[in-house]
Structure 1
Amino acid sequence: MNQLPERDLPPGRHRLLKEHLMAEIRHSDEPARARRPWLRPVLVAGAAAAIVAVTLTFTPPSGGDSTAGPPASPPAAQAPDSAPQVLEQVALAAAGQDAPEARDDEFTYVRSRKSFSGFDAVCEPWQDGSLVTRELWKSVDGSRPGLVRDPSLAGDVDGGPIAPDADTGQTYRDLEALPTDPEEMLAWLYGNKGGKGERPHYYAFKNAFIVADVLPPEVSAALYRAVADIPGVELVKDAEDAVGRHGTAVGFVDERGASRVEMVFDPETWLLLGTREVMIKDSADAQGRDCTGTIKAGSVLWADAVMERGVVDAAGKRPR
């Protein structure tokens, strides 16, 4: 399969994000019809969030005592206090989303924002430029060339076409056929083998991480319930995506015990905000590269934020 030209990766860029980006890729100029955005609203850091919520309205009974005080407020819902509880909330939110109506000749669309950190010869963090906007169009059935616009991955700021991926097993049609039963989904996560030396639990979580933002609702719900059964998945009560939106995360510590990969969810809607990798302890090993200093705990190696998703008529078109 033909791939896009890649710039040299900065020394500190973790292989997992590269795998995530390339896995997404492996997955006419006719005017696009107006479509309903797919799965999640656009949330902008620093602005009021567009939150889908159920509001309970309490109306005093007619003829009641006018001197009586306002009705008592209902008890506040208890915040989830474990990774399985968070993932159940996420699964319920995922199952309640509208499934996109996608024809074989159409394309899924994802717009995200991402940032990277690198580490110099003494392991001091440096920023690899500012936030980058990435747009990805993938053929629903994999039979047509897709398109990526990503200045950090492609040879120019407009990106370029990506080869059809009908034989990769990662098209939207393939993902539609994934199990909707959590136990069967868990078996699928473990069955897709990871890299050499990776622990089974780690690559099961990594497989979930790679496909989490492109699944139909019922499959997505099964995925998150399956993740809840992976040993080692942790609750992170406060995490940020690439644009600074705070959320509740679930994460998994890598084989070296030095960093944690996290999926960050909106604590109101329980929809996916983004993903990131953060150092959890001081480390003198910059992702397998020797250095003479220490990468401090709390350093974010990379982060991304899902801003918009949809189904469109042609590669290069955006949802309306």
Structure 2
Amino acid sequence: MNELTDLPELRDLFADKPHPTADRLAPARTALLAEARTKRRPWTRTRTVGLRRLMLAGGLVAAMAGGVIAVQTLTPSAPASAADVLRLAAEAATATQWPEPRDDQYLHYERIAYTRSENGVPNVGPRHITGEVWESVDGSRPGLLWNKPAKSIPHGNEYRELLTRCPGHPDRPTYADLRGWPTDQEQLRHKLAERGNHPAGNKDTAAQTWNGAVRVLGTPVPPTLQAAIFEIAATLPGIEMEELKDATGRSGIAVTRVDSEGRESLIFDKSSYVFLGGQELVPGRGRELWSMTRPRIADALPAWSTSVKQRGCV
């Protein structure tokens, strides 16, 4: 804005106009609100930048004088594709950061799993289990699993188990390991494909990358890495969008990929796009839904863990 020219022009424009009152400005307010709700009209080439500024300033002055300011709020449109869902999930992941744990601490969270038969698969569920987990950040100390029966099955199987990593055994990466993973797209894509290539080695690269992403996302992942994984998954062929319920019964929006081994889905909150969990549907093995709560940080295992016996390494 050029105060030396625009302000005098603004003063001269309203010099011969009557003093604004609520009654006089009512039609202008109505017109302004109506204009705000319509598609913005392009400016003609003959109008100058100075006039554009002047008219905008005049409209703002009129609205303020009448005690009304029209504010346009934009509501994001619904995602048009599975790739859009994953990109929105990446934004949500970086917007919901949690405190960064130390290597000597634990991540404490719940993992809920629900299994049931599909198309007459024998010997499968229904089974609903809640597991309360204390996971060592760097894997140097035993973790703890408290497997609780569902409320609908009061006499179901309940057990508590110390989780110790087997020495020298290639296990899933710890949270501390994941903090060191690259977020560069090409490097991370290679890491995910490596994870998804085990144990079968005949999958195509896209299937390996998708399976690796699903496996890594089954435990807490640093938010920036989670976002980078969603961005990579959004570029994979064969993904589709559908509506699914997670293991807790919440209705969500899912991104699903189908290959020769079955259907695997990632499920997100419908409004916030926060990651809720996943679903695996394998021919001959039924359907499994799982959800995971946001982790909290703990300095130590609960006191009762001293009475839990170790059943071996995992």
Scaled to the shorter chain, the TM-score interval is 0.5 to 0.7
CA distance in 2 between counterparts of 1:84 and 1:161 reads: 39
* 1:257-268 matched pairs, under 5 angstroms: 259-268=262-271
Q: What are the Cα deviations for residues 125-176 of structure 1, in whole angstroms up to 9, with x where unaligned?
A: 7862452111122111111001112258xx9513200113686361111010
Contact kept, 8 Å, 1:100 with 1:216, in 2: the verdict is: no
Aligned to 1:9: none
Task: Tell me how large the CA RMSD over aligned residues is.
Answer: 3.0
Alignment of 1:42-61 (within 5 A): none
The structure number with the bigger radius of gyration is: 2
Q: 2:241 aligns with which of 235, 245, 249?
A: 235
Alignment match of 2:297 (pick from 305, 311, 318):
311
Q: Which residue of the other structure, out of 125, 128, 140, is the alignment partner of 1:128?
A: 125
Instruction: Identify, as 1 or 2, the structure richer in helix.
Output: 2
In structure 1, how many angstroms separate the alpha carbons of the residues matched to 2:206 and 2:174? 24
Match of residue 177, structure 2, among 156, 174, 177: 174
**Once the 2 structures are TM-superposed, how far is the Cα of residue 206 of structure 1 from its aligned partner?**
1.5
CA drift of 1:177 comes to 0.6
TM-score, normalised to structure 2, is 0.65
Code of the residue aligned with 1:204 in structure 2: it is T
Kept after mapping to 2: 8 A contact 1:147/1:316: no
Instruction: Give the secondary structure class of the aligned counterpart of 1:104.
Output: coil
Aligned residues: 231
Choose between structure 1 and 2 for higher RCO, CA contacts under 8 A separated by at least 6 residues: 1
Describe how 1:179-198 pairs up with structure 2 within 5 A. Answer: 179-192=182-195, 193-196=197-200, 197-198=202-203
What does residue 107 of structure 1 align with?
A: 106
Gaps of 5+ in 1: 1-59, 280-284, 288-299
- What are structure 2's unaligned runs of at least 5 residues? 1-61, 150-155, 304-314
Partners of 2:194 and 2:208 within 8 A in 1 = no
Compute the TM-score of the two structures, normalised by the length of structure 1: 0.64
Distance change in 2, residues 1:226/1:215 (3 Å): same
Conserved 8 A contact 1:143-1:166: no
| Alpha-carbon contact 1:199-1:255 (below 8 Å) kept | no
Task: Label 1:216 to 1:124 Cα distance change in 2 as closer, same or farther (>3 A).
Answer: closer
Aligned partners of 2:166, 2:138: CA distance in 1, in Å?
A: 8
Residue identity matched to 1:264 = I
- Residue 111 of structure 2 aligns with an amino acid whose one-letter code is S
Q: Residue 224 of structure 1: CA displacement?
A: 0.8
Corresponding position of 1:11: none
Deviations 1:76-97 (A, max 9, x none): 3211111221111111111122
Q: Distance in 1 between matches of 2:126 and 2:85?
A: 33
